[in-house]
């Protein structure tokens, strides 16, 4: 293990030309204190948790100390935000401290969020307050436990600084880990400037980092586009399968790696509603639950447009090739989503009527405002033979259960065509239908307690969510949807 002054940074992005970033150190904070350190993740990155918990380690996690070998910088990018073009964005409150090679041999960014102003802050203060830091820690680690590609939280640190939003809030810094912070908007930035040299350097870098097998194919830049299309289709399938709504799917929030990034106004649904929106800034439902596949494809179209000069010298030929690559999104998504729905209702053998059966359930859930997570988890407990007690637990999730009774009958009839035993099917369903998600009211409870310097609810929630597919009899309360007075209908961006 390495001490703070001997961390084995290997900073490949910092070796790109200066126009890719601004070099600067984080702005120090007052009196940093460690809230939580993700010790297993630290060890995976080759970092000694005990060193990170020392005063020097906390100083690094707060941005007060830049260790030897780090190359702090703020990345520049552009993007479409709610469909509107912004020619320059960039890391306005984050500093990429450096890169580390994990125990899996993969490269990871170590970034500090809330690290102070950068040239891309656009008038912002460059700081983070405690609420969004706790929220991102909870949500990103919950997503990782669910097996969904995501950035990770290495540490959360408090500061004695006060951050002005609607009110004065305690400051905080999050240490975020990512396979990279390359975004669709990073490519858009250079494409908009017609800087083909930078665009090619960026694409080559992305291939080297994420898709090295593509370096020697006939058209590596087209292959890169196809790889990102497939990763993003798979990511959105995984989001939908657990009722997740990102809330701010701007092109600067879509990664080339296929990881979920930027947990601002995101949320997991309680009652199922395909038009559900939580983000306080999404006034027209652009990023509603069911809109996410279409938005992902729209964002990928912006990536394809940016890559046209690299795909072929003839723009018409490049456009045709890119269009074909983009068409793979719908094919991959539709096939994957159909398979995900079959698995969620316990079907392994494909039958023509399966999708109708799954969509009928979703319609019933929407009409009855049934809880998305509990419906599928409770269904996972049912056997092919009716059981009054178990069935009633499922039917109680619907306001008007009579049609749910009919659906159960049809579902059981369909199960008769399966070859797996009840126990095998139930075990498989419980591996894909979580019992625990980061419910909005629980996240809000943890944030409010944290503002009172009580991090016990935060710690308990992190522990529960680290085992989302396990039955945890002593934590059943964390499965429950919110009472009417506990409902969180709006979520907010940390800036």
Q: How many C-beta neighbours within 10 Å does residue 453 have?
A: 11
DSSP tag of 47? B
Residues 60, 34 contacting (CB under 8 angstroms): no
pLDDT reported for residue 61: 98
Provide CB contacts within 8 A for 38, sequence distance 6+.
141, 152, 153, 154, 155
Residues 73, 100 contacting (CB under 8 angstroms): no
Alpha carbon distance 19, 75 (integer Å): 9
What are residue 80's phi and psi, to 5 degrees?
Answer: -95, 120
Predicted structure pTM score: 0.96
The rounded Cα 335 to chain-centroid distance in angstroms is 22
Residues labelled catalytic: 252
How far CA 285 is from CA of 90, 167, 250, in Å, comes to 25, 27, 13
Alpha carbon distance 342, 241 (integer Å): 11
The rounded Cα 452 to chain-centroid distance in angstroms is 28
- Complete DSSP assignment for 204-232: HHHHHHH-GGGTTSS-HHHHHHHHHHHHH
- Complete DSSP assignment for 306-327: HHHHHH-SSHHHHHHHHHHHHH
What does the longest C-alpha to C-alpha distance in the chain come to?
68
Supply the Cα-derived Rg of the chain in whole angstroms.
Answer: 23
Beta bridge partners of 297: none
Alpha carbon distance 433, 420 (integer Å): 18
Q: Which helix (H) or strand (E) holds 160?
A: strand 152-164
Alpha carbon distance 60, 224 (integer Å): 35
- 3-state secondary structure (DSSP) of residue 494: coil
pLDDT reported for residue 1: 40
- What residue ranges in 295-372 does DSSP mark as E strands? none
pLDDT reported for residue 495: 60
Provide CB contacts within 8 A for 139, sequence distance 6+.
263, 266, 438, 443
Residue whose pair of structure tokens reads 């369903």 in the numeric block = 429
Q: Angle at which helices 315-344 and 220-241 pack, to 10 degrees?
A: 30
The rounded Cα 388 to chain-centroid distance in angstroms is 39
Tens digits of pLDDT across the chain (495 residues): 447 778 999 999 999 999 999 999 999 999 999 999 999 999 999 999 999 999 999 999 999 999 999 999 999 999 999 999 999 999 999 999 999 999 999 999 999 999 999 999 998 999 999 999 999 999 999 999 999 999 999 999 999 999 998 889 999 999 999 999 999 999 999 999 999 999 999 999 999 999 999 999 999 999 999 999 999 999 999 999 999 999 999 999 999 999 999 998 999 999 999 999 988 888 888 999 999 999 999 999 999 999 999 999 999 999 999 999 999 999 999 999 999 999 999 999 999 999 999 999 999 999 999 999 999 999 999 999 999 999 999 999 999 999 999 999 999 999 999 999 999 999 999 999 999 999 999 999 999 999 999 999 999 999 999 999 999 999 999 999 999 998 888 777 766
Q: How many C-beta neighbours within 10 Å does residue 36 have?
A: 17
How far CA 299 is from CA of 84, 85, 92, 477, in Å, comes to 12, 12, 21, 39
Alpha-carbon dihedral 408, 412, 414, 420, rounded to 10 degrees: 130
């Amino acid at each position: 293990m390495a001490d703070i002054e001997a961390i084995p940074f290997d900073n490949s992005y910092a070796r790109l030309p200066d126009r890719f970033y601004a070099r600067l150190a984080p702005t120090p904070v007052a009196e940093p204190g460690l809230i939580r350190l993700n010790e297993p993740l630290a060890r995976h990155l080759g970092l000694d948790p005990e060193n990170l918990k020392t005063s020097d380690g906390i100083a690094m996690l707060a941005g007060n100390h830049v260790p030897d070998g780090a190359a702090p910088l703020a990345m520049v990018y552009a993007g479409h935000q709610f469909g509107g073009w912004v020619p320059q964005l960039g890391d306005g409150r984050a500093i990429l401290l450096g890169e580390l090679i994990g125990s899996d041999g993969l490269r990871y960014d170590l970034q500090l969020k809330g690290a102070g102003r950068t040239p891309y802050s656009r008038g912002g203060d460059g700081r983070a307050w405690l609420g969004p830091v706790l929220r991102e820690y909870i949500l990103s680690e919950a997503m990782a436990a669910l097996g969904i590609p995501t950035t990770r939280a290495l540490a959360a640190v408090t500061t004695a600084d006060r951050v002005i939003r609607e009110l004065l809030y305690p400051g905080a810094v999050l240490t975020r880990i990512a396979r990279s912070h390359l975004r669709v908007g990073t490519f858009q930035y250079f494409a908009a400037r017609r800087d083909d040299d930078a665009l090619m350097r960026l694409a080559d870098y992305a291939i080297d980092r994420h898709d090295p097998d593509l370096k020697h194919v006939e058209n590596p830049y087209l292959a890169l586009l196809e790889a990102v299309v497939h990763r993003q289709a798979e990511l959105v399938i995984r989001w939908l399968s657990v009722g997740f709504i990102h809330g701010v799917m701007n092109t600067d929030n879509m990664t080339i790696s296929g990881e979920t990034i930027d947990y601002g106004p995101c949320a997991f649904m309680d009652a199922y509603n395909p038009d559900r929106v939580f983000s306080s800034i999404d006034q027209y439902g652009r990023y509603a639950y069911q809109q996410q596949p279409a938005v992902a494809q729209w964002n990928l179209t912006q990536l394809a447009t940016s890559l046209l000069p690299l795909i072929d010298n003839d723009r018409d030929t490049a456009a045709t090739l890119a269009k074909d690559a983009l068409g793979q999104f719908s094919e991959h998504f539709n096939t994957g989503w159909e398979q995900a729905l079959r698995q969620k209702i316990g079907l392994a053998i494909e039958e023509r009527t399966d999708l109708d059966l799954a969509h009928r359930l979703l319609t019933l859930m929407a009409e009855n405002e049934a809880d998305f997570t509990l419906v599928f988890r409770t269904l996972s407990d049912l056997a092919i033979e009716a059981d009054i007690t178990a069935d009633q637990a499922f039917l109680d999730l619907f306001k008007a259960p009579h049609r749910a009774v009919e659906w159960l009958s049809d579902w059981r009839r369909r199960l008769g065509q399966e070859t797996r035993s009840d126990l095998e099917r139930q075990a498989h369903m419980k591996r894909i239908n979580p019992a625990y998600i980061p419910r909005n009211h629980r996240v809000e409870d943890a944030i409010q307690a944290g503002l009172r310097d009580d991090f016990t609810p935060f710690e308990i929630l992190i522990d529960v969510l680290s085992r989302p597919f396990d039955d945890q009899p002593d934590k059943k309360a964390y499965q429950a949807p919110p009472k009417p007075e506990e409902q969180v209908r709006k979520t907010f961006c940390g800036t």
